[in-house]
């Protein structure tokens, strides 16, 4: 019987996939890639070497994609097969990046007289290919070459181990109670979820976990201060040497080895730090520019953040009897202050944002902006009953597809992300459509555990009710998805998000979030889950008034993460766990305004930089937020659904993928280079600072 991972056309046959299929399929496809490379090198050229190699590597990528994905959303049985496949894939790509014969093909193409007349996407693919060969160690000799390859393999292993430790620590902790009084203040949605979590473990009462919806509900709403402290400390000490699971899933040694290997990789390539190596494929010109950007933004935002925290502390003392705010009091107190000031809460908004209505409204917003429609296809096999599959259509023709896995569950990685199933490319069988995974961790529907049959909409029974924060998360991930799916480029290396500078990749995602705050769009994405009535004007006004509540505090928190990440990777060597903590403490002293528990080990769960693609790149969120705010300001001038402006964004940004430099594309859309003013304005920070200077 043939291995379904080795031979499928477009969509992975999830109903046929088994963990034991992963390693044999990946091994077979890698050998096919090697054989194709050997054949192609005998007759060097774009059509004779690079095109057939792309074809073979696309088959490998499409097979590895579901293996990697299933490890993230199901873990358990897919973990070991994924890690075995990851080791083989890492070896292959490292080997390819050091192949000098292939490197010479790229050099010959770039030096050919006709190169300047090639289509832009081909030229950019060659240009970026040459860069990546250098970053992949193609120029290294002997022991250095071998060491670079070994480090690459080990870094892939360590990134996976880091993520596994965080997931295992998250799953391993829970708090069970049969006394509902302990959970006073929790909204009904959270109580229902806690009861369902207990029932799933054959327990009576309620079970609090460290999954996002459960954790946040306690931190924001629980009146029980002791419970807040217990849950907070369990969360901020995950995968560390301290806390209730101290040492059990400890990432200390993992971080130390990752940082040492990254620093060594940079040195092998003749660079001063891993940050310098990271910036070689980003928009930012150098390390000094990134630090200058972050520290300038921190200097502007911190005075406003200090005022916001002073207000919070004063409110806590006067109204709540809390003379000293502890870390587990911050979110709870902020919610109380927000209620007093604006008389609005996420829980009050929740009934007006049922998942199905939000999703339909999101699709309607995108249709008005970019002229595309979305159509569900219930015939497509998925990996879980909650997962839906959709096609994107333009003028009735399918142009892309995506899977949507919206709800939190055990053994599913936390957070939200977009990843690729396959890219748009011109292949031997014709044009391959781009397909994406969109993954979130929303509260699941308060429906019976025997929820709908596979393929049915999760919103068909009792709906999941989203907070407005979760609504913006859905828009954010869909923005990433549009960047991947709406590309017109058909060369894989620069199609969709491929080849896009990492500090520009957040532009479309943060850009789309803006519509979550526009009354015209809110009317499309909201409606009471029982009556369908629109969000009342009074509630809408309160929500919009509260938009920038504590936005400066949020800004400095993001800057804390970004500065910690970048300074950590600016070092010319690795760092011990103690040194990592000292650096984080120093950054907090510079920019943070809220107290932090002594036991806090945020870094041990910072998967973005230790297990994701954001090492020396977390600043990208703020860097791209400048771009997104500035881009949206043009819609504010022209109208938020102005079709001409939507078409400009579509043609200049979304359709271009990585075929041109990100700054050139932004400048083409906006008519000038970006400025920070729109970001400060949208965050309400400028107004705060101007008031302070009067």
Query: Could you report the per-residue pLDDT of 266-319, keeping only the tens digit for each?
Result: 999 999 999 999 999 999 999 999 999 999 999 999 999 999 999 999 999 999
- Per-residue pLDDT, 685: 77
Task: Say yes or no to pLDDT of 605 above 80.
Answer: yes
What is residue 612's predicted lDDT score, i.e. its pLDDT?
92
Calpha distance 236→228 (Å, rounded): 12
- Residue 465: beta bridge partners? 354
The pLDDT value recorded for residue 1 is 63
Partners of residue 438 on adjacent β-strands: 404, 418
pLDDT the model gives residue 680: 83
Over range 2-23, report the average pLDDT: 95
- Is residue 450 very low, low, confident or very high in pLDDT (cuts 50, 70, 90)? very low
Note the pLDDT tens digit of each residue in 356-414.
999 999 999 999 999 999 999 999 999 999 999 999 999 999 999 999 999 999 999 99
Mean pLDDT of 669-691: 76
Active site residue 477: yes
d(CA 173, CA 169): 7
Asked whether residue 340 carries a pLDDT value surpassing 80, the answer given is: yes
Q: Give SS3 for 492.
A: helix
State how far the Cα of 126 lies from the Cα of 54, in Å rounded to an integer: 13
CA–CA dist 309, 182 (Å, integer): 28
Paired with 402 in beta bridges are 390, 436
Can you give the pLDDT at residue 461? 60
pLDDT digits (tens, 9 = 90+) for 314-333: 999 999 999 999 999 999 99
Structure tokens at 49: 């070497």
The mean per-residue pLDDT over the stretch 501-517 comes to 97
pLDDT at 456 > cutoff 50: no
d(CA 491, CA 282): 20
Write down the pLDDT at residue 455. 35
Q: Which of the following is catalytic: 55, 276, 470, 477?
A: 477
Give the count of beta carbons closer than 10 Å to the beta carbon of residue 531: 9
Q: Mean pLDDT across the chain, nearest whole number?
A: 94
Q: Which of 515, 600, 528 is nearest to 356 (CA)?
A: 528
**Assign residue 657 a region: left if phi > 0, alpha if psi is -120 to 50, beta otherwise?**
left
Structure tokens at 606: 């910072």
Please state the pTM of the whole predicted model.
0.94
The pLDDT value recorded for residue 686 is 54
In angstroms, the CA 364 to CA 689 distance is 38
The predicted pLDDT at position 683 comes to: 85
Residue 501 pLDDT > 80: yes
SS3 204: coil
Cβ atoms within 10 Å, residue 671: 9
pLDDT (tens digit per residue) in 549-559:
999 999 999 99
The length of the chain, given as a count of residues: 694
Least confident segment among 53-57, 280-284, 402-406, 452-456: 452-456
Per-residue confidence (pLDDT) for residue 575, from 0 to 100: 98
């Amino acid at each position: 019987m043939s291995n379904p991972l080795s031979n499928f056309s477009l969509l992975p046959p999830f109903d046929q996939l088994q963990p034991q299929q992963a390693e044999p399929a990946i091994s077979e496809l890698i050998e096919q890639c090697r054989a194709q490379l050997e054949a192609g090198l005998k007759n060097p050229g774009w059509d004779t070497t690079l095109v057939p190699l792309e074809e073979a590597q696309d088959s490998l990528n499409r097979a590895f994609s579901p293996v990697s994905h299933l490890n993230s959303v199901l873990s358990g049985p897919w973990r070991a097969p994924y890690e075995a496949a990851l080791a083989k894939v890492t070896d292959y790509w490292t080997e390819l990046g050091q192949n000098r014969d292939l490197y010479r093909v790229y050099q010959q193409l770039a030096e050919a007289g006709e190169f300047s007349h090639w289509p832009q996407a081909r030229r950019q693919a060659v240009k970026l290919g040459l860069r990546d060969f250098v970053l992949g160690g193609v120029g290294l000799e002997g022991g250095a070459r071998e060491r670079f390859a070994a480090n690459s393999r080990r870094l892939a292993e360590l990134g996976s181990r880091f993520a596994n430790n965080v997931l295992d620590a998250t799953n391993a902790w829970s708090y069970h109670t049969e006394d509902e009084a302990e959970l006073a203040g929790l909204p009904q949605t959270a109580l229902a979820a806690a009861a369902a979590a207990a029932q799933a473990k054959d327990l009576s009462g309620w079970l609090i976990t460290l999954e996002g919806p459960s954790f946040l509900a306690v931190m924001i709403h629980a009146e029980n201060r002791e419970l807040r402290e217990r849950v907070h400390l369990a969360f901020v000490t995950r995968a560390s040497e301290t806390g209730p699971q101290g040492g059990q899933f400890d990432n200390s040694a993992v971080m130390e080895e990752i940082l040492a290997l990254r620093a060594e990789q940079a040195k092998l390539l003749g660079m001063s730090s891993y940050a310098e190596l990271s910036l070689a494929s980003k928009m930012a010109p150098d390390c000094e520019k990134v630090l200058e950007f972050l520290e300038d933004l921190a200097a502007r935002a911190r005075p406003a953040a200090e005022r916001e925290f002073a207000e919070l502390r004063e409110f806590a003392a006067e109204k709540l009897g809390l003379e000293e705010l502890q870390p587990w009091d911050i979110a709870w107190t902020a919610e109380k202050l927000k209620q007093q000031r604006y008389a609005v809460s996420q829980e009050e908004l929740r009934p007006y944002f049922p998942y199905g209505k939000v999703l339909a409204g999101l699709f309607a917003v995108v249709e008005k902006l970019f002229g595309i429609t979305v159509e569900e296809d219930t015939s497509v096999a998925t990996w879980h009953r909650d997962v839906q599959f959709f096609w994107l259509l333009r003028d009735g023709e399918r142009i892309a597809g995506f899977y949507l896995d919206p709800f939190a569950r055990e053994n599913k990685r936390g957070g939200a992300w977009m990843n690729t199933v396959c890219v748009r490319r011109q292949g031997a069988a014709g044009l391959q459509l781009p397909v994406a995974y969109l993954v979130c961790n929303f509260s699941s529907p308060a429906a019976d555990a025997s929820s709908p049959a596979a393929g049915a909409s999760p919103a068909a029974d009792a709906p999941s009710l989203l907070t407005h924060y979760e609504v913006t998360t859905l828009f954010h991930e869909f923005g990433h998805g549009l960047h991947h799916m709406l590309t017109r480029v058909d060369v894989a290396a620069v199609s969709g998000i491929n080849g896009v500078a990492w500090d520009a990749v957040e532009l479309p995602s943060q850009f789309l979030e803006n519509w979550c705050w526009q009354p015209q769009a809110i009317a499309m994405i909201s409606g009471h889950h029982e009556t369908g009535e629109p969000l009342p004007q009074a509630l809408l006004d309160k929500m919009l008034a509260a938009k920038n509540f504590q936005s400066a505090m949020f800004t400095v928190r993001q800057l804390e993460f970004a500065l910690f990440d970048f300074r950590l990777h600016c070092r010319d060597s690795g760092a011990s766990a103690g040194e990592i903590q000292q650096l984080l403490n120093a950054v907090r002293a510079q920019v943070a305004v809220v107290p932090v528990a002594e036991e806090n080990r945020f870094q041990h769960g910072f998967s973005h930089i230790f297990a994701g693609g954001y090492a020396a790149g977390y600043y990208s969120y703020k860097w791209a937020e400048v771009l997104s705010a500035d881009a949206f300001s043009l819609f504010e001038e022209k109208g938020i659904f102005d079709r001409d402006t939507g078409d400009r964004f579509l043609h200049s940004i979304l359709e271009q993928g990585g075929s041109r430099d990100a700054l050139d594309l932004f400048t083409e859309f906006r008519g000038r280079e970006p400025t920070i003013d729109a970001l400060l304005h949208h965050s309400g920070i400028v107004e705060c600072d101007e008031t302070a200077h009067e």
